[in-house]
Amino acid sequence: MAIVEVKVPQLSESVAEATMLQWKKKVGDAIAIDEILIEIETDKVVLEVPAPSAGVLIELVVADGGTVVSDQVIARIDTEGKAGATAPAAAAPATATASVAAPAPVATGGSMAGVPMPSAAKLMADNSLAAGSVPGTGKDGRVTKGDVLGATAAGATKSVAASTIPTGAPTTSLPKVASPVKAVDLGERPEQRVPMSRLRARIAERLLQSQSTNAILTTFNEVNMAPVMDMRKKFQDAFSKEHGVKIGFMSFFVKAAVHALKKFPMINASVDGNDIVYHGYFDIGIAVGSPRGLVVPILRNADQMSFADIEKKIAEFGQKAKDGKLGIEEMTGGTFSISNGGTFGSMLSTPIINPPQSAILGVHATKDRAVVENGQIVIRPMNYLAMSYDHRIIDGREAVLGLVAMKEALEDPARLLFDI
């Protein structure tokens, strides 16, 4: 028997520990080299743990939901084992209180449909769920921990509804969550208590940090987006054909922001103790929504990027955020951020600064509005801009003029070409 240990990847210096999500394999399964065994959530990203060697998984050292640190052993693989063989030293997961398994239906004809994974089996036993009572959505129809959590949450809600709500009365359904759930029977007003994910807790911590350490003010302006929209319409087909990506609004906002930051370096600076750090580069954070929460990947050296480079990178960030594949290095640093609430229909907001940065631009939905031009009321596609800034180092003058510079660049995009 040749044993290979599966370890937690090296976490960044700022990340002390991480949480195990859900094992994708169970003890006795055949493993291919580099096959993803589990995902580990830090307060910044979700990391995939691949198999370091091919073989058979013989032991899960840490169960789903366990807390781990860098280089900790979480499983073991027998490189000479055979799938389905009973592991002589397969211990119960270190974080589990007992080795309890729910009765599983017998697989026939090689099918694993309805067979619970180890974590799911224990959860089924804890909740007195009979074998075959939970439909599986995992590989080959296996029952995952998420399937059991969903079933228990749905069962709790149905129980409340059946016992307290009259026939024909409207019912209230609670959201389906893939976390430990505590359902409370409050008659017609049921509740669920779900612990925050590491990312959500980190977001909360940093937002409070920003509000408590920065002297935040917000300045507003409006911009006529017609010139940008006309330019996009004129060059969209040729641009897409040449670069394989469409021109979006965000590349214009990034370019306009860099244009203003060059004119007013204080907006691109940050505070470090009693020092002001002036950055000679322009790393722009782009706030992106993901299933796990808000993340802010960074466009490095945005001043050196073309419109096509920016659009491609933003599209890549969006897909990675959706798939939970953003790396820690892609979200570290940044000298200025842009948040686009307009994607969700926001008309106006006051964005919160992303520490240690000193300013953030909020852009919103572009809508046709009545404006006055040369004494005449006309209809123009208008967007409201909001820039929050740290008044400790940025005076109102720099903030207002910086936002005006962004407005002027968007209303006359040719300024971006001539840097004026």
> What residues are labeled active site?
391, 395
CA 380 to chain centre: 35
Token readout for 412 is 């006359």
| Cβ–Cβ under 8 Å, residues 223 and 382 | yes
Using CA atoms, how far apart are residues 51 and 133, in angstroms rounded to an integer?
Answer: 32
Q: How far apart are CA 22 and CA 122, in angstroms?
A: 13
Q: Helix or strand or coil: residue 326?
A: coil
Could you give the 3-state DSSP secondary structure of residue 153? helix
State the DSSP H helix or E strand holding residue 7, giving kind and residue range, or none if neither: strand 3-7
Q: Which two tokens stand for residue 149?
A: 């959590």
CA atoms within 13 A on the CB side of 82: 1
The residue assigned the tokens 């306009």 is 256
Alpha-carbon distances of 409 from 20, 218, 389, rounded to whole Å: 47, 20, 20
* Residue pointed to by tokens 């004119």: 263
Q: How many CA atoms lie within 13 A of 420 on its CB side?
A: 5
Token pair belonging to 351? 């964005």
Residue type at 17?
Answer: E
Token pair, residue 231, equals 């330019």
Query: Please, which residues bridge with residue 389 across strands?
Result: 217, 359
* Separation CA 70–CA 204 (nearest Å): 24
CA distance 3 to 199: 34
Helix (H, G, I), strand (E, B) or coil at 155: helix
User: Which region, left, alpha or beta, applies to residue 331 given φ > 0 means left and ψ of -120 to 50 means alpha?
Assistant: alpha
Gap between the Cα atoms of 385 and 347, Å rounded: 9
Distance of alpha carbon 359 from alpha carbon 202, whole angstroms: 20
For residue 284, which phi and psi values (nearest 5 degrees)?
-100, 120
DSSP state of 330: G
